[in-house]
Each structure stands twice: as structure tokens, then as C-alpha cells.
Amino acid sequence: MKIKIQPNKLTGTIEIPYSKSYATRTAFCRMLAGQPAQDCKIPDAAAKALTVGQFNGTADCGGSATILRMGVAIAGALGVETKFDGLEVLRKKNFQPYLEMLEKHGLKFSGYNLPFTMSGKLEPGDYNFPPAVSSIYVSGLLMALPLLDGDSKISMVNPAHSVAYINMTLDLLEKHGIHVDVLGSTSLTPRFEIPGGQKYLPADVECERDWSGAALWMAANKLGSSIELIGIEDTGQKNNKTVEYTLSRIGRSINVNEIPDMAPPIAAAACGYKGTTILTGCARLRYKDSDRIETIISMINSLGGEAYLEEGDIVIRGKGTLRGGTVDPRHDHRIAMAAAIASCICEEPVEILGADCVGNSYPDFFNDFEALGGKISIQEE
């Protein structure tokens, strides 16, 4: 689906969506505890976890790498032979290092790219993660290893990435009666000791709001919009303050290593500032739903801005306004939504190719955008 957005400031009130990351973890935890996952406010973007979490031999993960990475570990712990598949954006991803590590612990894979079939049963032991590993892999094993007969350990070579998401997993595990010993700080090089033979217990868990979704509308406010956010307190005070602080640093250096999902709206907001903003800690952006170093730079330049890569950092020369143009998000929902937000300071319309990719995390994004006065038309692609 290609859409065209006419330049316009946004005004009104918006309810922040529920967090896909939190909901996906909650769905798996509830199903392992024998609870109806539907009782929690599961957003449509995390609904695939409900299907994959049935562990009935087939697992269509859609476009969600989170569901795939967690689903493989949990299905392996349960010993359920499963055929995994997903959308083209997942089929292009490289899962080989992770799957090879799991093969050392009892699992077998028909291939390392989707679609593949997983067989065998995960075995307890020492799991040593290579450098620059995604926190989702760690979270998947933290959820799976308590189900095994014996004790296990997880060790990391380098400091953990996206610590907030590891802490989110640990918090949910504790609420469901799962015990994990954390040795050291999760922000440094943690080791996790996971006793085996544990059972998930039912828990009454309220799904958190999506602070990365909130960041989109807060970025729009930086670009001259006037949006009141409902539910901002349910994103967690720390996350809310992180968004506010990060956006306040536009015009300076911003480290996005721990906030890769915020990088696209930060970049859009930086275009509205007359001056230079530098995004540092960008290495992990290459392994998101797209190579976000490339797609962020491409988005800005396609809209008439100026951005480039310099010694691993994204340099954005903000001009206060953008021309407008056509953006190819390359199936990355965060880039598509950031391009829409950037339209607030464009002089000409913004066209977004494959705009339906926003369904991966925020299916109602364009409905909410229109409710705030955004002017959208659907084009033939």
C-alpha cells in the first residue's frame, strides 16, 4: 500500500497504544501458565504470539522477529517439532549464529533461513552468547530455560544491548513465579543462572503502553504539532523520562544504542532543528527490521534533508523544514511512521511505499494520524 500525506501540523488527543514487546512476552507467559492470553490487552500487532504460542507444529510469525526468536527457544524447550515461517522481511534475516548455538544444545534445524523446521529438544547447560547479540535472543532463552529438567547459565561476551527489554522479561518472569539469578549488572556483562524444573504460575498482569509509540507523537510535537497523550503514565515513568530527555538533546549528540526503536522519530524531529544532531551508538541499527542506518539516512535525504554516515555515526544537518518526496521504508514499520511524522515540516506531499508495514507494531497508526488532522490518501503502488 502506497499512501500520500499532505503537509500539515497535527492537533488533538491520542491514546498511546499498548506495547507489542510487553504484550508478546505476556502472551507467551500466560500460555505457558495455562491462562487465556486474550484476557490481557494484546494489541493486534502481537496477536501472532497467540497463534505461535499454541505450539501445534506450525508457527507463522508474520513479520515479527521477536515472536520468531522467542518462539524457537520456547518450542525447543517443550520439544515440539515446529515448522517456522514468516513474511519476506523475516525470510531475508540471518538467524544462523543463534540457531547454531541452539544446535549445540539439542536442537536441529532444516536450514538457517525461513522457512525452516526445528526438531529435537533443548538441553540445559551453559549458553555463551557471541558479541552484538540481540536482547530478544537472551529474553527467549530466559523464558525457555526454566522449563528444562536441569539448571542452565547464560553468559555474554559484551555488555548487553537493549537492557530495558531484558529487564522487562525478568519482571514478567518474576510475576509468573519464575526465578532467575542475575549476577552482575544487566547494563554491563551479566550472567544469568536459571534453575530448571520451574513452572509458570498464573498472574494478573496489566499490559504496558508503548513508550516507543509515544515517542512518535512527542516527536511530532517537537515539529510544531499540538498533541495531548493519554496513557503516558502507563509507559512507565522511567521510559517516559527517557523519551523526553532524548528529544531535548536534539541539536547535540544522542546515543541510540539502548533505544534503537526511537532512532527514526528522533531523526525526523532532528530535521526540524536548524543545526546538527549526531546519532551515536548506531551499530545495532543495522540488524533491526531494516538496516536502519541506511533507511534513516535514505528517509531524510529522500525528503530533501541532509544526512550521512560518518565514522559509524548518523549526522543530520537540520534545516528546520523538508521538501517532501517519496520514502521507501523497506518493510520497516518504524521508518514508515517516522516519515509520516516528518511530513509535519514538509513543503510538498510525502509518499510512503509499503506503508501497511506499520501493522507490525502499530496497526492503527494511520487511523490515529488522520484523527489528529493528518491528510492521507491511498495511492496505487
- Higher-pLDDT residue of 161 and 1 is 1
Task: Note whether 261 and 328 are same-domain residues.
Answer: yes
For 245-293, what is each residue's pLDDT tens digit?
899 999 999 999 888 899 999 999 999 999 999 999 998 898 888 899 9
Q: Which domain holds residue 304?
A: 2-17+209-379
Cα-to-chain-centroid distance, residue 292: 12
Asked, for residue 354, whether it belongs to a domain, the answer is: yes
Distance CA 142, CA 162 (A): 15
Task: Note whether 326 and 180 are same-domain residues.
Answer: no
What is the average per-residue pLDDT within 189-196? 89
Distance CA 331, CA 358 (A): 8
For the chain, the average pLDDT equals 89
Range of 32-41, 162-171, 337-346, 359-368 with top mean pLDDT: 337-346
Task: Note whether 121 and 244 are same-domain residues.
Answer: no
Task: Note whether 159 and 88 are same-domain residues.
Answer: yes
Please, what is the end-to-end C-alpha distance for the chain in angstroms? Answer: 6
How many structural domains are present in the chain?
2
Asked, for residue 200, whether it belongs to a domain, the answer is: no
pLDDT recorded at residue 12 = 97
Task: Note whether 179 and 274 are same-domain residues.
Answer: no
Kindly report the CATH number assigned to the domain that includes residue 340.
3.65.10.10
What is the average per-residue pLDDT within 165-171? 90
Task: Note whether 214 and 149 are same-domain residues.
Answer: no
Name residue 194's amino acid.
Answer: I
Pair type for strands 350-352 and 2-6:
antiparallel
Task: Note whether 172 and 321 are same-domain residues.
Answer: no
Asked, for residue 44, whether it belongs to a domain, the answer is: yes
Asked, for residue 203, whether it belongs to a domain, the answer is: no
* Residue that terminates a domain, selected from 194, 226, 257: 194
To the nearest whole percent, how much of the chain has pLDDT over 70?
Answer: 90
For 14-69, what is each residue's pLDDT tens digit?
998 888 888 889 889 988 998 875 555 555 556 667 677 677 888 888 878 888 99
Task: Note whether 123 and 60 are same-domain residues.
Answer: yes
Task: Note whether 244 and 153 are same-domain residues.
Answer: no
* Residue that terminates a domain, selected from 194, 220, 252: 194
Task: Note whether 296 and 220 are same-domain residues.
Answer: yes
Asked, for residue 204, whether it belongs to a domain, the answer is: no
Q: Could you give the residue ranges of the DSSP H alpha helices within 208-273?
A: 211-222, 237-248, 263-270
